[in-house]
Every structure is written in C-alpha cells, then in structure tokens.
Structure 1
Amino acid sequence: MPEHEHDDQEREFDLKWADNAEHKEPSARARMLAARWKHNPPGPVPFRADPDHVARRHRRSGWMSTVIVLGCVVGVILLLGYLNSRGSY
C-alpha cells in the first residue's frame, strides 16, 4: 500500500474517533469568553434594532446619496462645458 493511502486512512480514522468522542473540549475562544464572562458578564443586547430608527436613518441616507450623485453629475457637466468653451476659439 502506498504511503499517502496509509496516511489518508489514518486521518479518516482519527476524524471518526474525534467525532465520536463523548466529551468535546470547547475551542480556545469559547474558553476565553467563558473566563471573561465569569467575572464580567455581558449586558443584554437587543435581537434587532428599533425599526423606526433604521427606517429614519435609511430614508435620510437615501436622500443624501441622491443629492451627492446629482451634485457630481452637475459638476462634471459644468466642467466639460467649461473645458469645451476654452478649447474652441
């Protein structure tokens, strides 16, 4: 049996063995957060933001984006007109 097939079989066995383990150790991040929250638990966080606040902010930013885009278009038109008038004597 070639070397790489033997390694693949060992890896497959190790993965099956690890998946079937009774006790699974938490990840390093989970252990870190558990230790941190033991002495300083996090405060409550709402599941979703207030819909009125999101709607107001979105509506305002939509208008602001429109004004910025139209302002840029007008600026480019004016710039092109100015350059065109200087070029033709």
Structure 2
Amino acid sequence: MSAQDEDGEREFDIKWADGAELKEPSARARMLAARWKENPPKPQPFRADPEPRAPSRSSWRSTAIVFGSVAAIVLLVGYVNFRASH
C-alpha cells in the first residue's frame, strides 16, 4: 500500500467522521454534564472581576530585604576587589 493510498484512506475517514449526524460528547463534557445536573454552576459574567484582596502590609519589608541584599552584595564585591588589589 503506497503513502498516497494511506492519505486517501485517511481523508475518507475524516470526511466520513465529520459527516456524522450525531457526535458523541467528550469525556469531560459528559463528566461536567453529570456534575452540573446535581449541582449547577452559579452564573458568572464574562471575565468576572477577581475577588478583592487585602492590601499587602509587608511591601516595605520586601523592599528593605531587596535593597539590603543588593547593598550587601555590592559591599562584598567591593571588599573582594579591595583585598585582591593589595
């Protein structure tokens, strides 16, 4: 059987499957339908707003840690270069 015959057979199968009158839903669709039958989901607007978050109180702490780390690295590199030059 040549590659051309396989492509022709595959094309026929796709056309045959696409032309089916009744298509079976996917497993996920069946699972959700069964779940929603007992417990329907709450309606939500398209791209619903996220839940409001409490303001972060540790932002100053994070900033201090970052600046402190950068300062420590700069001092360490400067000290290593100072020791290497003497």
Using the size of structure 1 for normalisation, the TM-score is: 0.62
The alignment's TM-score, normalised by the length of structure 2, stands at 0.64
> Which 5+ residue runs of structure 2 have no aligned equivalent?
none
Given the alignment of the two structures, is residue 48 of structure 1 paired with residue 48 of structure 2, yes or no? yes
Runs of 4+ displaced beyond 6 Å: none
Give, in whole Å, the separation in 1 of the partners of 2:37 and 2:30: 11
Query: Is residue 77 of structure 1 aligned with residue 79 of structure 2?
Result: no
Matching residue of 1:9 = 8
SS of corresponding position for 1:10: helix
Greater share of residues in helix: 1
Aligned residue in 2 for 1:24: 23
Letter in 1 for 2:35: R
1:79 positional shift:
1.3
RMSD: 3.2
The one-letter amino acid paired with 2:12 is F
Amino acid at match of 1:5: Q
Aligned-residue offset at 1:26: 0.8
In the alignment of these two chains, the number of paired residues is 81
Q: Give 1:38 deviation, angstroms.
A: 1.1
